[in-house]
Structure 1
Amino acid sequence: MNKTITFGIPCYNSAEYMDHCISSILEGSGYAEDVEIVVVDDGSTKDDTLAKAQGWQERYPTIVKAVHQENGGHGIAVLKGLENAEGTYYKVVDSDDWVDADALRQLLDKLRAFIAYDVRVDLVITNYVYEHVEDDTQKVVDYGFAVPKNKVITWDQIGHFNLSQNLLMHSLCYRTDVLRDGGVPMPAHTFYVDNIYAYVPLPRCKTIYYLPVDLYRYFIGRGDQSVNEQVMVSRIDQQLRITRVMMHAYHLYEDVPSARLRSYMMGYFTLMMAVSSVFSKLSDKPDAKANLKGLWDELKGYDRRMYLRVRYGLVGIYSNLPKAGGEKATIIIYRIAQRLVKFN
């Protein structure tokens, strides 16, 4: 049977919470045979992640596929899932997250209709929800006003995305062939590759559909989580590495013909440069500021027009205020944004 969608679940020492993720897809889909779940064990060392994945495969051999690889990091595990995917569509769900049952049923109905009526949709967008376990609160990220609802569109029909509306991995369901055609340049042993996944394939998506359901539930609150602020500051070198990959993916003004998509991607890239700037200022690593300067210099040499737009827009200015007083002001502005948006 042809698979409508493959869910790739990268797992690394995930035995404690992966069952919830897998069962949310199985139960939410009604154990549908046109759904595939590829559980990728990324060389786990501390628990029985692989054994658990194999157990799920034994119980549901026509739906769940357990795959093992030597440890390569989150991005390589995402690509391993893609390599093994048989679905027309591909969606990544991290092993500590889960999906909403009713929203999943609506997504499946829509994808099945696209396939049945031979409607080519390259990217389906859904909402995601920050699940803040420390205070038992939720924050829904939706795309109202930015993207027309429930219709097949092109990038020229999108509106303006505000800073909290970036199309993160949690909101994206790509056609599998879009991801495979041209690839996704995920570096090994690097966190934050989801930004590459949510940025590089976009110009290859010619048709888009926004289904306004709260599908993806994004767990926030574990101390060792990659989006924990202290963890992010400690991994500033990896943040810069990801931002470099995104920088060199496109000369945006030359390579992206849609003005609206180009504007969105410029906004996303600007935010990545701002994050790099802020966390470099928060870092106590002796080379952090020099490495940040190197990143800005590289952007200036790579594409001066992109550099001027990023550096001297409001976000670029306020994330790079000069001297010690300016640095303190930048961090205060970041703290205010953090409280408002609650993104980590």
Structure 2
Amino acid sequence: MKLLTFAVPCYNSAAYMEKCVASLLPGGEEVEILIIDDGSTDETAEIADRLEREHPTVIRAIHKPNGGHGSAVNTGIANARGIYFKVVDSDDCVREDAYQEILQKLHELTGGSRTLDMLISNFVYDKAAEKHHKVMHYRHILPRNEFFTWSDIHHFYKGHYILMHSVIFRTKLLRECGIRLPEHTFYVDNLYVFEPLPYVKTMYYLDVNFYSYYIGREDQSVNETIMIGRIDQQLKVNQIMIDYMSENKGMISVNRKLDQYMLSYLDIITTVSSILLIKSGTEENLKKKEELWSYLKKKDWILYRRLRFGLLGQAMNLPGKGGRKISVEGYKLCQKFFGFN
């Protein structure tokens, strides 16, 4: 059995996927790298097969029909042989100095008396054309260098959350919680770091800059214009999160800090949806914003009140053009959350 499985979803990633995989290879025989070719039409499949031939004990190339990022992650979870599991997007990479610390810590924690459910580390916004890169860390929020639970965490401020780039999950936990990301849908990474959380009992924060999250490609899914064009997919994910929060309230409300964190995460996602709908400026999308809040109200009145009458909820629903202008100020939070321009 491997210590850590990396799943690398690839769709037409020929131009940059080798750099990503190269950053993972220093893990040697302790890791496996699943290159998941999601129905690519460029040279991605050929590159994946070549890399597998060059590193047959570490790399596996998996070819599948196109199903989107979520489908590729699902395939990774189903095929993983590692005790732990991490998604690394094909245009991102990991940092070698922190990588060795991560592996050493996973070894140490795996051999102990307690089971680790989720390891958290820092990530870096590697923004194109910028010399200084922003580090997303959790030093004032999470205990360092010790096991902890939800009851031990401090306050997460708006725009600062545990994202896909931050986490390594226990593989068995992902399977036990039954997570199944929707196919042909962008922004499912928000579900990936949301739905497993009620099952996470033990965590560990390693204060190292492990993951480099590249931002800057014009075709990137977090480009603002592209997000507005794909707003229906953002809304789909938003509604799935509303359903999950409502339908699992018994499990979530057991721990007050877990409940507060998941509510805050749903709040920022709903804010992102609302801001993008407002910024699009079309009557159709303004109607979709009203429909989103109506959906939430109909699904769960209590959850609706918790979001609607919070600071962001009130800001997203101010009437008229003046109100919408104030609402767009919330866009700064969206920038911080996604890192887009």
TM over 0.5: yes
Which residue, out of 251, 269, 274, partners 1:272? Answer: 269
> Over residues 298-330 of structure 1, what are the superposed CA-to-partner deviations in whole Å (9 max), with x where a residue is unaligned?
111211111111111111122332111111221
Which residue, out of 326, 330, 340, partners 2:323? Answer: 326
Which residue, out of 212, 216, 220, partners 2:215? Answer: 220
**SS of the residue 1:136 aligns to:** coil
Which residue, out of 307, 311, 333, partners 2:308? Answer: 311
Which residue, out of 59, 70, 76, partners 2:71? Answer: 76
Q: 1:116: Cα distance to partner?
A: 2.2
Which residue, out of 95, 98, 109, partners 2:93? Answer: 98
1:300 partner letter = K
Q: 1:164: Cα distance to partner?
A: 2.8
Which residue, out of 155, 161, 169, partners 2:164? Answer: 169
**Relative to 1, partners in 2 of residues 1:340 and 1:13: Cα closer, same or farther, differing over 3 Å?**
closer
> Over residues 237-262 of structure 1, what are the superposed CA-to-partner deviations in whole Å (9 max), with x where a residue is unaligned?
01100001111113265331110011
Corresponding position of 1:131: 126
Corresponding position of 2:285: 288
**Relative to 1, partners in 2 of residues 1:25 and 1:10: Cα closer, same or farther, differing over 3 Å?**
same
**Relative to 1, partners in 2 of residues 1:341 and 1:277: Cα closer, same or farther, differing over 3 Å?**
closer
2:241 partner letter = M
**SS of the residue 1:250 aligns to:** helix
> Over residues 164-186 of structure 1, what are the superposed CA-to-partner deviations in whole Å (9 max), with x where a residue is unaligned?
32111000100001111132231
**Relative to 1, partners in 2 of residues 1:318 and 1:234: Cα closer, same or farther, differing over 3 Å?**
same
Q: 1:291: Cα distance to partner?
A: 2.1
1:43-62 correspondence runs (5 A)? 43-45=39-41, 47-62=42-57
**SS of the residue 2:121 aligns to:** strand
1:60 partner letter = H
1:53 partner letter = A
> Over residues 206-248 of structure 1, what are the superposed CA-to-partner deviations in whole Å (9 max), with x where a residue is unaligned?
1111111110100011101000111111111011000011111
> Over residues 117-164 of structure 1, what are the superposed CA-to-partner deviations in whole Å (9 max), with x where a residue is unaligned?
343000000111101112233110011121101111111111101123
**Relative to 1, partners in 2 of residues 1:242 and 1:338: Cα closer, same or farther, differing over 3 Å?**
closer
**Relative to 1, partners in 2 of residues 1:14 and 1:59: Cα closer, same or farther, differing over 3 Å?**
same
Corresponding position of 1:159: 154
Q: Could you list the runs of 5+ residues in structure 2 that have no partner in the other structure?
A: none
Q: 1:342: Cα distance to partner?
A: 7.2
**Relative to 1, partners in 2 of residues 1:109 and 1:137: Cα closer, same or farther, differing over 3 Å?**
same
Q: 1:285: Cα distance to partner?
A: 5.1
Distance 1:196 1:283 in 2: 24
Q: 1:340: Cα distance to partner?
A: 6.3
Could you tell me whether the CA contact under 8 Å between 1:299 and 1:307 is conserved in 2? yes
**Relative to 1, partners in 2 of residues 1:287 and 1:78: Cα closer, same or farther, differing over 3 Å?**
same
Corresponding position of 2:10: 11
Q: 1:66: Cα distance to partner?
A: 0.3
Distance 2:331 2:276 in 1: 12
1:3-42 correspondence runs (5 A)? 3-27=2-26, 29=27, 32-42=28-38
Q: Could you list the runs of 5+ residues in structure 1 that have no partner in the other structure?
A: none
**Relative to 1, partners in 2 of residues 1:63 and 1:339: Cα closer, same or farther, differing over 3 Å?**
closer
Distance 1:149 1:178 in 2: 22
Q: 1:21: Cα distance to partner?
A: 0.5
RMSD: 1.5
**SS of the residue 2:29 aligns to:** coil
Distance 1:145 1:83 in 2: 35
Corresponding position of 1:202: 197
State how many pairs are aligned.
338
**SS of the residue 2:57 aligns to:** coil
